[in-house]
């Protein structure tokens, strides 16, 4: 069932429209974004931090070559695993792709990437190389919880398990003497992107997501995930790199090293992904990407494109027609 959200809000009429399709992993974002792109003539632009990596097509469930042939796609598999992506890089790349599309459709579950477009991006300092090296060394030695304990008190809100953000907070503090949170509280260095954003937020029940995670994992295991991770490991990359922490990679890496059997690797990967989808869903419920009138919620998983019809889902289509058919660029 869909739940349109409406409230008044003023915005410049001349801005072009950009559509966001967001929600937790396995909620059906990619299928919905593709259907919208085909129906309304848009480009699906990746807003998932892990689907940016070239080597991780299977393990991150990137769109298939067949899907990519049905409508334009951008920013999928564009970075080598050895090159860490980050929010400022993604924002700049996304804006370049958006400028080339009559209807940009930003699809993904990395909330901070999407928020960097809709709300702007805070100024963050350059960090010293020695501080970055120290953070990685301590992360390897102490683990994320141990490094978290060394952070400035203002950074206490970071999750002790979020190794990437903890390392980033530590290197910022060592380089500047100020906490990451204090930098982020400053006015955005980059303003909100000049678009009229409309968002479709998919929020299925947890049980539906859990079943979908289990089904997707089984398909990955028969579809080349083990071979993909083995090839990644042959590069000898730093285990702290984001690509090395994509869901399923640490678990299959441990299996390939002979540390755990396949059944345990699968159990851990499914459990870790399920925990992540819970955090994603909570984030999207409490972090407004757009004004309430500009959002449309769907409380069921998009399991098949047969759901994408005006007869089956008139509220969604009314929302899409309002977003896509509204005057743009002052026309």
Q: Is 60 annotated as a binding residue?
A: no
> What does the longest C-alpha to C-alpha distance in the chain come to?
62
Three-class secondary structure of residue 215 per DSSP: helix
Cβ neighbors of 251 (< 8 A, separation 6 or more) are: 260, 265, 266, 268, 269, 272
Which tokens hold the place of 107?
């699809």
Cβ–Cβ < 8 Å for 91, 117: yes
Q: Is 23 annotated as a binding residue?
A: yes
Q: Is 25 annotated as a binding residue?
A: yes
- Locate all alpha helices (DSSP H) within 110-203, ordered by sequence: 111-118, 129-148, 163-176, 180-184
Q: Is 292 annotated as a binding residue?
A: no
Q: Is 27 annotated as a binding residue?
A: yes
Q: Is 278 annotated as a binding residue?
A: no
DSSP E strands in the chain: the ranges are 2-4, 17-22, 43-46, 73-74, 104-108, 121-122, 188-190, 196-202, 295-298
In a 10 Å sphere around its CB, with 0-12 CB exposed, 13-18 middle and 19+ buried, how is residue 86 labelled? middle
Q: Is 163 annotated as a binding residue?
A: no
Instruction: Say how many CA atoms lie within 13 Å of 325 toward its Cβ.
Output: 7
Q: Is 109 annotated as a binding residue?
A: no
Which tokens hold the place of 128?
């010293």
196-202 and 17-22 beta bridge pairing:
parallel
Query: Among candidates 48, 56, 79, 50, which has minimal Cα distance to 230?
Result: 56
Residue numbers in the known binding site are 23-30
Residue numbers in the known binding site for ATP are 23-30
Residue numbers in the known binding site for substrate are 25-30
């Amino acid at each position: 069932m869909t739940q349109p959200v409406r409230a008044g809000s003023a915005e410049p009429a001349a801005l072009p429209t950009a559509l966001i399709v967001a929600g937790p992993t396995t909620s059906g974002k990619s299928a919905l974004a593709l259907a919208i792109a085909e129906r309304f003539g848009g480009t699906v632009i990746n807003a998932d931090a892990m689907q940016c990596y070239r080597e991780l097509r299977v393990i991150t469930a990137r769109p298939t070559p067949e899907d990519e042939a049905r409508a334009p796609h951008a920013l999928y598999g564009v970075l080598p695993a050895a090159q860490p992506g980050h929010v400022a890089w993604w924002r700049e790349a996304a804006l370049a792709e958006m400028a080339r599309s009559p209807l940009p459709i930003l699809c993904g579950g990395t909330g901070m990437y999407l928020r960097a477009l809709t709300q702007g991006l805070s100024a963050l300092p350059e960090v010293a190389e020695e501080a970055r090296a120290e953070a990685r060394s301590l992360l390897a030695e102490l683990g994320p919880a141990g490094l978290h304990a060394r952070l400035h008190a203002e950074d206490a809100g970071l999750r002790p398990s979020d190794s990437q953000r903890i390392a980033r907070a530590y290197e910022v503090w060592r380089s500047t003497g100020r906490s990451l949170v204090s930098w982020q509280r400053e006015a955005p260095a980059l303003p909100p992107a000049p678009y009229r954003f409309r968002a479709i937020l998919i929020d299925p029940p947890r049980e539906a997501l859990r079943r979908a995670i289990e089904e997707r994992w089984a398909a990955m295991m028969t579809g080349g995930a083990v071979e993909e991770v083995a090839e990644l490991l042959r590069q000898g990359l730093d285990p702290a790199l984001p690509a090395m922490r994509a869901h399923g990679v640490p678990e299959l890496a441990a299996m390939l090293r002979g540390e755990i059997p396949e059944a345990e690797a699968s159990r851990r990967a499914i459990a870790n992904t399920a925990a992540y989808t819970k955090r994603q869903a909570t984030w999207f419920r409490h972090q407004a990407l757009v004004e309430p009138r500009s959002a449309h919620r769907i409380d069921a998983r998009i399991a098949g494109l047969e759901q994408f019809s005006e007869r089956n889902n008139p509220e969604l289509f009314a929302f899409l027609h309002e977003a896509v058919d509204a005057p743009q660029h002052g026309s």
